[in-house]
Amino acid sequence: MTQAEPHSAGLVAAHSPLVVVITGASSGIGHATALAFAERGARLVLAARDADTLEPVAEACRSAGAASALVVPTDVTDAEAVGKLAQAAITQHRHIDVWINGVGVGAVGLFDETPLAAHRRVVESNLIGHMNGAHAALRHFRQRGRGTLINLISIGGWVPAPYAAAYTASKFGLRGLSEALRAEVSDLPKVHVCDVAPTFVDSPGLLHGANYTGSNIRPRIPMVDPRRVARCVVALVNRPRALTWVGAAAAPGRLAHAIAPQWVGATMHRTMRWALGRANPAARTDGNLFEASKGTQIDGGQRQANQKAAGTVVALGVLGVAAALWLGRRSPRRLPHGE
């Protein structure tokens, strides 16, 4: 286990099971996290837009050992609905111990070829939705004097992704939100704001997401098992920490970007453009931006196929850092216009 991944030996001892609210619980990391808490006997409050996709997850959680699993259909972009989600949890269990903001959507395409409505929806879901959840959770935690808020960010909050401008904007914004909230609760020793930042996760996110490229998107890169991310989330209950990285590509990617951000961005753009040019054609689609997806899968089905790429990507990451260092030393200072 790496230093970035806290141990997960049991939950905090309590007289009653933990009460855990999870948004985005219907598939991917959210589904995996619900099962991970269920195996530890938690009382779960599961939220996503569609009740039909939540019910099978709730049933699986009960079978896995959850003390209970309450389904509350919720669109996190609706602040009033998120407030009702918090109230439903409190009414049912009298309090909330852990709130997990797990909703994440994306739209892949060149910025000016992607509808503005799609960009807006990505930001509303990934940033405003997390703000709505944090607002409801922290009001309760402040009154109670304890509680843990966990935000799912991603490496996209540190390294921008061409063809995913709105996603990048939402994740950079979420990173700032979490840092500000940690400062605001710094005088409350039992209230924690934690971030989990995985690299590329083998979840159904790409399959469910919007695609405006006209090409089939199947990245040939190593991917993290969603269950690994879920274990890191659960571990934060016992050992809260500001930021937990998940995935080997995080460190070289962040370092290369810190040294030569323009070179990293241009390289990512060229790589993405090359891959899309070789991909099979695909219809343009809004994906799950405006309508809830119906699948409840945890996996995206690409992890095994991409396993052989792991060594290559690590090697490229090291080369990228070396190239960034070299460019950083050689690049002359460019004066702005007018000097």
Residues forming a β-bridge with 285: 211
Q: Cβ of 204: how many Cβ atoms within 10 Å?
A: 22
H or E element in which residue 237 lies: helix 226-238
CA dihedral 320, 326, 332, 333 (to 10 degrees): 60
Point out which residues pair with 100 in neighbouring strands: 22, 150
Backbone torsions φ then ψ of 141, nearest 5 degrees: -65, -40
What is the spatial distance between Cα 56 and Cα 60, in angstroms, rounded to a whole number? 6
Beta strands 19-23 and 107-108: pairing type?
unpaired
CA distance 172 to 185: 21
- Told to judge if 167 belongs to the known catalytic residues of this protein, a careful annotator would answer yes
Q: Which of 141, 158, 167, 200 is catalytic?
A: 167
Please give the angle made by the CA atoms of 102, 103 and 107, to the nearest 5 degrees: 140
Contact 85, 69 (CB under 8 A): no
**Strand ranges inside 9-53, DSSP E:** 19-23, 43-47
On the CB side of 136, how many CA atoms lie within 13 Å of its CA? 30
Cβ atoms within 10 Å, residue 7: 10
Give the separation between CA 261 and CA 334, rounded to whole angstroms: 15
Do residues 222 and 249 touch, judged by C-beta distance below 8 A?
A: yes
Active site amino acids = 167
